[in-house]
Amino acid sequence: MREHRGTLKAVETMVLPIVVGVDGSEPSLHAVDWAVDEAVRHGVPLRVVHASLWERYEGAALADTPDVASDAVTGHDLAESVVAGAAWRAGLRAPTLEISTGVVPEDPVSALLREALRASAVVTGVRGRGPIRELLLGSVSLSLAARAPCPVVVVRGRTQNSQAATGRIVLGVGTGVTAPATVRYAFREAAVRACEIEAVRAWRRPAHRTAPHPLPDGATHAEEVAAAALLDEALDGVAQEYPGVTVHRALVEGSARHALVTRSSAGDLLIIGARRPRGHLGPQLGLVGHTVLHHSDCPVAVVSQQE
């Protein structure tokens, strides 16, 4: 019995790696770069994973490529070269970083969801290799963001926004009180990056109230006051744990989707929570989540939060 307890303690204190999913595409290599920098910031290992059944999920685009034989798409050699090339790239970027690799004979969602159980975060590129990759967010990234138990980062947007150049993290505070796990993730990221947080809460007047007469100067709508209270409630407890992190609180009248996408242009990372209602198999992204994952100008982190 003592030996069993010791084993549990070892598991509990194990440093969880950042996992990055690769498929050989350019977006996945950008994800490797981002994941390397993130692992270095947090002092954790990096794990590079390739699911060898990736093309069944994203489409058979490579099979139609003239210089790639169709029987090589799922071949062991190709899978090994994909993961080895990504690991080599990671090693060049951070020579002292601890890097492990894995080729998993599964579809990418199943493989990366399994990896997510033992990861501090899972990182993917914005699109995969499918034939409509220029139009839509990769189905792998979208599925992971909706279902993973750990934070999922989709590396997308403009190059300068993925290189921690703006010095700002954007945190979306949603309906109700955003879970402490999501807020704490934002503060932890801001602390290791030595940057500030812009916490955004959108609000709307009820549709039936058109307010034909504007409010006097200095007056506020009841909905705006309630939004400010929710923002304070979400932030204050965690903010006390990170006194060195500067927080700017933004109340925006209108669409949360529009507010977050607009502010993403000035951010290094956009963080939102994904609700996980009790009894459901995975988090629910909602319209805001889908919008920012498709249109953000910076990488997006989705953090699961239990209801």
**Residue 104 gets which letter from DSSP?**
E
pLDDT given for residue 65 in this prediction: 40
pLDDT given for residue 221 in this prediction: 81
pLDDT given for residue 97 in this prediction: 98
pLDDT given for residue 177 in this prediction: 60
Consecutive 10-residue averages of pLDDT for the chain (307 residues): 41 77 92 98 97 60 43 66 96 98 92 95 78 52 89 93 93 81 96 97 76 50 90 93 96 95 97 72 75 94 80
Q: Give the whole-angstrom CA distance, residue 97 versus residue 285.
A: 33
Residues facing residue 302 across a β-bridge: 152, 272
What is the signed CA dihedral for 71, 72, 76, 80, rounded to 10 degrees? Answer: -170
pTM for the full predicted model: 0.84
